[in-house]
Structure 1
Amino acid sequence: MANMKKFSDMKDIGHLCAHYERSVSKGHYGNPDIDQNRLDEDRTNLAPDRGKQTAYIKSKIEEIMNGRTLRKDAVRMCCWIVDAPANLPEEKKAAFFQATYNFLIDRYGTKSGMGEDVCISAYIHKSETTDHMHFAFLPVIERKGEKSFCAKECVGRDDLKTFHEDLARELEALSICKKTDILNGATQRDSKGRALSIRELKKNRIIKREQNLNRWSNPTDRTDRTIARW
């Protein structure tokens, strides 16, 4: 229902920000799930306009580091992808995404001491299979009045373990959906309890699909190719 990813490389972050705001030209999207005739429906951003997202990130890094150098491998951006529940009525989706945005601002804006400034962007996408929001934010924490980048503490194990329960409780309290709509077991996790990313989920679906094909037609060369591919 929700997945979180961390990013360190500004080049990768730039590509992602372009994906969020749909500034990539039509015909240049590799994701087959995107209906490129509906890209104009994907430009609703619940966060304040930051101008160029990468410039905003760099300016906040400079402000927070205050002359210090941020490690090259330090996480500079995190992003929650939050899907609308499959059974959520269309007329409740706007309220769902707004409430989720408010929840995320409260959660990470408080940890960072930055309020809404912690959010880079929060684009809602409707052109894919499931309506969802990309909530991109700075992994900043505040200790004794001093801010620093620390993804390990900002979105550590305790945060990830309680995220879905806390969000579900909030949405149910607002009568937007039931807790069971959020805590529905759809979130798949690895052996360490980490929620799988969208890319990992798609990869698993491909593997299962090919396994089903191999069950019916299982020539050795096809099986070898399947194993080698992954």
Structure 2
Amino acid sequence: MEGLLQPIVDFMLANAAWAGPVFGLFAFGESLAVAGVIIPATPVLFLVGTLLGSGKLDPWSVIPWAIAGAIGGYWASWWSGRRMGSAVYRRRIFTGQRRTIARVRLYFRRWGGPSLIFGRYVLGPFQSMMPMVAGVAKMDARRFHAWNIVSGTAWVAVVLAPGYFAAKGLTVLGFGVAQQHMLTGVLLGVSALLAIGAVVLMLYRLTTLRRRPIATPSARKSPLG
């Protein structure tokens, strides 16, 4: 399992100047409608948090890229929703996901702008559809950008914090280099488990949604019998 994320770690450590852009691409991908369902970037963010906490990466060369990626992904999703309108829901790629879209739309109608923040945590892999729904609903640009900036910044901070403080604690508690490597390996394994779990959950949800029959107006019974 560690081998799933180790190449990412090796590349970032060997190419520190590219660590930020690569990290930003993961954040962008998870925040982009449809792609965010497939890309489990949160475990990567947790993993990078451990590298920041252990001093192997410079926070100021990585975190701004992650925030920019998170904000950019949501902006692209919102823009596509505004441009295509409700027709986007009829795209082939969303076949079998009407219940998921309905859930996201209901959440947005209930919470409005704050849903762009909280949706990242409560909607799981489908959180990336939230800005697209906001775009279809014609949420104005000024409100969207304000909430999007807060959302992207808070999300990066929240997902980096566990790995950062876990790795930081290794140094504070006086662990030796060998022990730090061992515990960092454990954290890497946890990140891999989270990545696998995210993919399995995504595949399960998509399979379940496809199997559920969608009732048509002709199939629904009249309240009068």
Higher helix share: 2
**Common fold by TM > 0.5:** no
Normalised by the length of structure 1, the TM-score is 0.24
Work out which structure has the larger RCO, using CA pairs closer than 8 Å and 6 or more positions apart in sequence: 2
Higher strand share: 1
